[in-house]
Chain A
Amino acid sequence: MTAVALAPSARPKGSVANRIDRVFDRWSMIVYTLLAVIYLLLPVAVIILFSFNDPPGKTNVVWHGFTLKYWLNPFGPDGLGSAVVLSITIAILSTLIATVLGTLMALALERYQFRGKSFANSLIFIPMATPEIIMGASLLTMFVSIGQPPFFPLNFVTILIAHIMFNISYVVVTVRARLAGFPRHLEEAAMDLFANEWQTFWRVTFPLILPGIVAAALLAFSLSIDDFVITNFTSGMSVTFPMYIYGAARIGIPVQVNVIGTSIFLIAVGSVALTTLAGRRKRG
């Protein structure tokens, strides 16, 4: 720590107490951080480990032995494959739509002054401060009260509507953060060089905020694919991957669920690692 080196120290540097102090200071923090990381990742390790388990019955909670057979047959159980496909479809569609809508809103809020701006700001903030169960429940109430009976059918469409809704706010916040530190003089330079507003946007502004948009889209995708609570209220008979896990939790979760969970984890970690490396190479 430079502070210690710079500050006039009352104690002599090499004293035993001082040395113990420094060693403790250093190691206590390293050990603590290590323990915290182990705590955070322990359940993930269990998910991965139990994707190789070979339980005799339906419940996959006790270690019985190593097998690869579930990795070779990941969509074995009935309905698991279609649940994964539904989750991915909804995640892709809701990410696309929410990212477009949210980016436009972020541009409006960051670039323009207009009446009703604070209302727009609060309408974007409040969904993030609302417990998921409230959003799910109120959507359900609305769908039920539209034309009762027959009720508005709860299916793919209602899940998609809900996912776009809760994703918009996160996209706006993420893109705005990128726009806030935007070098405006680059746009002015482009305009000085006779680019019109449209050209300036696509050639200067958009490439510069693209990392923010990509980050927002990744966030939206991960929120959507893992959402359980709001989906539980809006899905009707449709089954997404989290809904499948919830339904199976009572009777015993098939090993294949761990296989898919592990795959999602590895793909996510891999893509983050790749984008980081790519970013480093570009800069370096």
Chain B
Amino acid sequence: MGTFLKHHRWITPLALLAPGLLWLLVFYLYPALQMFMASFWSGSLATGFTFSLSNWTNYPDAVSTYAPIYLRSVLYAGAATVTTFLIAYPLAYTIAFKGGRFKNLLLFLVVAPFFTSFLLRTVSWKIILSDSGPVLGPLKAIGILPQQFHVLASPMAVIAGITYAFLPFMTLPIYVALEKVDFRLVEAAKDLYAGPWRPGGAIVGAIVGGVLMAVLGFVFNTSPLAFAIVGAVVGAVLFHFRVSESFVRVTFPLSISGVFAGGLLTFIPAIGDYVNAELLGGPNTSMIGNVIQAKFLTENDYPSASALSFVMMFGVLIVVAIYAKILGTEELSAAAARA
């Protein structure tokens, strides 16, 4: 036995790998191919499906019908990814650099929501944000918000729900990247007279604050311009005084791989999500996941649903490929810098 293994060294890794690999081949790769085939089906569940290449028209049919919903999904997922980043980065930064002895506790609190059901947490937001709930009720009572104001069934509710659901996916990779930053580099930058980030801080702060508040203005149906101006001023002041050159030139570039990883980990589940749109959204906030789900599970329209799924998967693969390219070159340049 021992000599046999020594003469056939490839057997051990193959034997270790085979069961798991087979499972993934049979229950991941093969079903994916099967779904690709199904996108060329015609017929119905009752009469049975037939495969024909001439059914390629399933693709243009499905895509042209649901193009606005694809666009909406990309917008919602993109907006949610940006908001998770804006919330997660300062959080990860604080935990990594100022966490001290509370570091592990804080990290635990970031992942703690995962210990309860994802669906129940989404339902909780429905309770919190309901029209006369604990947040909107008092605001309406003292007259800050008009009586007919609502958050649920609006795009904001869906984006907020997705933002909440995937916030830990963004926070953890950024934390891991920041944790690895050699603080001596930051000190070196400071020794080399890196001060506050001027004038970049004011400009970037004005843009970030302005855009954010303009969006909020749209959401609250008041003047976006007034909101944008206030946001730009606050952002400019905040960034002017609070963001240092050493952060912009050293810390942030060193953490960019975490930002990319977090972005991917947030965007992918966000684009396919239909639970937030279903529980927090309304009839006009359906995402592509809702359409696919309904076609597969209630309408039994497998061909068109498969085509829609494949278009989504194709989009995701392109994003992943771009990311792999960027991250790959990133790693390469890091290796080159070390050498």
Contact = CB atoms under 8 A, between A and B. Distances in A.
B312 A32 contact: no
Contacts of B271: 131
Interface string A100-120: 011011011101101100001
A124 B84 CA distance: 27
Given A131-B272, A233-B297, A108 B28 contact: no
A172 to B, nearest CB: 7
Given A3-B187, A7-B191, A265-B116, A114 B313 contact: no
A166 B278 CA distance: 24
A108 B17 contact: yes
A60 B268 CA distance: 32
A215 interface: no
Given A32-B91, A104-B16, A161 B116 contact: no
Contacts of B37: 145
B110 A133 contact: no
B20 A102 contact: yes
A86 interface: no
A124 B24 contact: yes
Interface stretch (B54-62, B117-125, B216-224): B117-125
Q: How big is the B interface, by class?
A: 35 or more
B117 A261 contact: yes
A174 interface: no
A37 B109 contact: yes
Interface of B: 10, 12-14, 16-17, 19-21, 23-25, 27-32, 34-35, 37-38, 45, 48-49, 87, 90-91, 94-95, 98, 104, 106, 108-110, 112-128, 130, 164, 167-168, 183, 186-187, 190-191, 242, 264, 268-269, 271-275, 279, 289, 292-293, 296-297, 302, 305-306, 309, 312-313, 316, 320
Given A61-B130, A137-B35, 14 more contacts: A61-B126, A104-B19, A105-B21, A130-B313, A133-B293, A134-B35, A137-B305, A144-B45, A164-B23, A222-B114, A226-B114, A228-B275, A229-B272, A249-B279
27 contacts: A33-B95, A37-B109, A39-B164, A40-B109, A40-B164, A41-B113, A105-B16, A105-B20, A108-B13, A108-B17, A112-B12, A112-B13, A114-B10, A129-B316, A130-B316, A133-B274, A133-B309, A137-B35, A137-B296, A139-B27, A141-B38, A142-B30, A145-B37, A168-B23, A229-B274, A265-B116, A272-B108
